[in-house]
Amino acid sequence: MGLKICIYRGTHQIGGIAAEISTEKTRILIDMGDELSVDPDFVPAPLNIPGVTDTNGHCDAVLFTHYHGDHIGQMARIRPEIPLYAGALARDIMLLSAQHSNRTDEPLFRRMDSIRTFSPGEAFSVGDIRITPYSIDHSACDSYMFLLEADGKRILYTGDFRLHGVRGKAMPRILDKLVGKVDAIITEGTSVSRPSGAVPREWDLQAQIKDYLKKYKYVFVLCASTNLDRIFAFARVVPRGKYCICDKYQYTLAETVSRHWKRYSSFYEIPKLTWFQYKPAAGFQERGGLMFVRANRQFETIIRQFDPTQSILLYSMWDGYRTKPGSNLPAFLALTGTWEALHTSGHALPEDIRLIIDKADPELVIPMHTDAPQQMQNICPNRKVVLLNDGEELRL
């Protein structure tokens, strides 16, 4: 029979991902996410997959590449007897996020709590499919690509990735030393329809934070609490004598990352970071420093307490959140009088996608997580690019 590939959603859109890899004996799904939209009234369409969301067939396991909603948002629709797999840190972050949102009584939380975990570089098998997860860089901590092997075939499923993050050098090395040539690569292509040009590296953003801390007494950073590489990078450059503060939820997330990953890199040792419950310590008012904030009433009240002429608010998120209809972010960003964007993409540039494809040297390139899959042929003109439609099967 050989390996079969079927992408249920994501062949012509960014987000809402679900893909199947199967043999005659074993069936695995990768991700089960919500569709993305900037429309405030948008309701994600339920994804119905035979044997996964109903009993019309079987499924041996569902793997998750990372914890973003467009990859896990429909986890609760998966039949409860189907095993789920994710990275150990990713699982803990999912649970902490659900607890923070008071969603512990929801079916999604119960499914998260049942997740089995894997470790970077350690292969495991589901039926006759051997799976090796490799830790890669994305704007979600503990993101993975998967090497799937069965019936003499090898498929590389990249998941969401980038090479300009704090661990961006790891993925090419993994491909050179551990993966080698594959038969097919299923790659994300989020950026292929976007304007070309260089984007800042996470290290560039870290250097800019140093400059802002010299120029302003109070530097407020609005970023996703689960974009933890960014939080660690920024916190690490706050100079002696200044404060770096966040609320208890963000500190708990950072502490969890450190507990899991400090044995791999000193970067993940807990940085100078102080948490507060209701209001920041008086020392922050006196000495200044950096505060991680979220766009809610509590932080609005806090920011108003500080001299706006000595303050700046840095917007460190995707700009679509700010510009979507009905967004509260423009008013929040105006609190300090001065705000600036300080962000970089969580997704690979087209030239980086080409590099990864060349290193894996596949017979077939299958784009997904993209609204312009036809652009993939321009990125790798000398390779066979297969453009699938949602629900279409491909046999290797």
What pLDDT score does 137 carry?
97
Structure tokens at 225: 């609490």
CATH fit for domain 4-195+346-395, picks 3.90.230.10, 3.90.226.10, 3.60.15.10, 3.40.1180.10: 3.60.15.10
As a whole number of angstroms, the distance between CA 159 and CA 216 comes to: 38
Structure tokens at 220: 């407020």
Strand partners, 135: 144
As a whole number of angstroms, the distance between CA 386 and CA 380 comes to: 12
* Residue 312: other Cβ atoms inside 10 A: 20
Instruction: Give the rounded percent of residues in the chain with a pLDDT score beyond 90.
Output: 88
143-159: average pLDDT: 97
Q: Go through the chain and tell me how many residues it has.
A: 396
Structure tokens at 58: 């079987």
81-100: average pLDDT: 96
The predicted-structure confidence for 220-269, as pLDDT tens digits, reads as follows 999 999 999 999 999 999 999 999 999 999 999 999 999 999 999 999 99
As a whole number of angstroms, the distance between CA 356 and CA 345 comes to: 17
Q: What is the mean pLDDT of the chain?
A: 94
The predicted-structure confidence for 292-317, as pLDDT tens digits, reads as follows 999 999 999 999 999 999 999 999 99
Q: Is the pLDDT of residue 218 over 80?
A: yes
Tracing tokens 């087209």 back to the chain, one arrives at 350
Contact, 112 vs 85, CB < 8 A? no
As a whole number of angstroms, the distance between CA 64 and CA 323 comes to: 30
250 CB burial (10 A radius; 0-12, 13-18, 19+) = buried
Structure tokens at 165: 């993050």
313-333: average pLDDT: 93
Q: How far is CA 137 from the centre of its chain?
A: 8
The predicted-structure confidence for 256-271, as pLDDT tens digits, reads as follows 999 999 999 999 999 9
Question: Is the fold of 4-195+346-395 the same as that of 202-341?
Answer: no
Domain map (residue ranges) of the chain: 4-195+346-395, 202-341
pTM of structure: 0.95
Contact, 368 vs 181, CB < 8 A? no
3-class SS of residue 37: coil
As a whole number of angstroms, the distance between CA 6 and CA 386 comes to: 12
**Minimal CA–CA distance to 258: which of 267, 266, 270, 246?**
270
Structure tokens at 170: 């790891």
Architecture of domain 202-341: 3-Layer(aba) Sandwich (3.40)
